Chain A
């Protein structure tokens, strides 16, 4: 009888050893299943909303690849250029033009798109406005404390030039403008071809609610490539 009992106790030893392992596999499997069914994506969505830009790898530079281009600013003879031609469409963050206004000693790179980082680097063209050389209203702005500090000195009749790698475009200042920052009239799409340059109105200090600038009408369009290449 005693031997039988000892044999029974010996036979339960593997059960004692294997049971924890089997329970581990069983409960581990249940947990994995529960996790796969848990609505964690709701939490993730809320966190993404809550942290906004701060949860992205890069904030203002997220997806922004700033590209500087060598742009020739020497005027080309008329014989080498065409009135219509191919426009090289820039990507957001690309410096694709140089803005020049000799009357106020201004020469500044123009970036496609507007954000704080690009505004620190030069003038910025609103991506909702017409690409330089295309038809419509091309809108460019810069900080009044830096590149456009002398913009208010541009007078009607002054010449403004835009140099790109696909052509050179000359404008003449038509009128000085002043508008409220909420007023989008001067920045909206226009049927005529024009260039609008604006900046903040200088005030005591700090950001202003008023915007000042000029709008210019085109004088000449000189493309490097003929129209059929467009």
Chain B
């Protein structure tokens, strides 16, 4: 008799979802699915609004990474206005975007994932949380909180407030940077670098412990996508799309991100509100690719800043030129964070960073615009169509978690196959299935379950829906 295991809700991720695991007559896993059970509808509710409101409206998608949506949205509106923001405006947008990446990466690694890494997947959930981390390894917890605070402060100082800042506007930034704020941000750089480097050192010494898990944590061949600059370095704000296959061969390079529709398709499955994107040339569902920190370090030649490049070299020496296991998202996320801190300092030292010219102004010059940037979780795409008066007629968003949807499903299946044995449900299995999802740090909405204390339920269901076994905490 075939059975279904349901994990609902999945905890310590941003949003609401559940996992079902389908067993066959012999108790072997035949399929596993990651369901996103919430519905937002932003593409519909923004119709009819003036396009200048779009960045602020789209920022409301998420309270953790509003800046990412503000950046991609403002770039899409720039495209509609047919303007380039002044160079200083672009640099300030880059800084605030990197501040976002630092704080969100810190949230993912320290607050949400470090409890699993510190205590192991089989540890008691009462200990396996950020408060447990604070007791066991106070420096680790302190570094996580400090990094997140520093990133959030950058957002507040540049954008006006920490959540849903209003300073990122079509055409550039609303206000220029002052010398005082620049110096205040720079004062925090040495400590931020030290904090990430401490975390990297800790993670590296701990890495061997997880080799077994890494081998089955979403370890499969897939393509990777990310933005790179002219020199092939990671670019979180602009640049060109590069897509590589599992062997590091270019599937596409130097692609203008505005042409993404020519390369990426979207599929809808009846069991999830999250659309699955796929690489058109390989078709659906074979065109599976990953985005996010792991994809960024895989597609780029280098990070482009000295300390991060040193760490990237070590990363590649340890896990290969193209890391295939999603477990390495954690490692990649730390390198991505180190690079972001270094890049913020580099940009703040720019000669024109205090220029008063930070915004370009124009009317509606095109009826369609596309904005693409790197959000903490991967490549983010906003695509709008407007009428001649600038009223939004249509919008489509491809969010990093959408790019990763197929990869997450495959990862859940892989982990379930390894750890689900027969009819017994173990806490360790449950935790690993959840943890593999957490590698991708999926952003399903705007809620943070940072303490990981939500109720977790797993059920074994008979085909007629009868509950055969149940485990909850």
A, B from the same assembly:
no
Chain A residues with a Cβ under 8 A of chain B = none
Chain B residues with a Cβ under 8 A of chain A = none
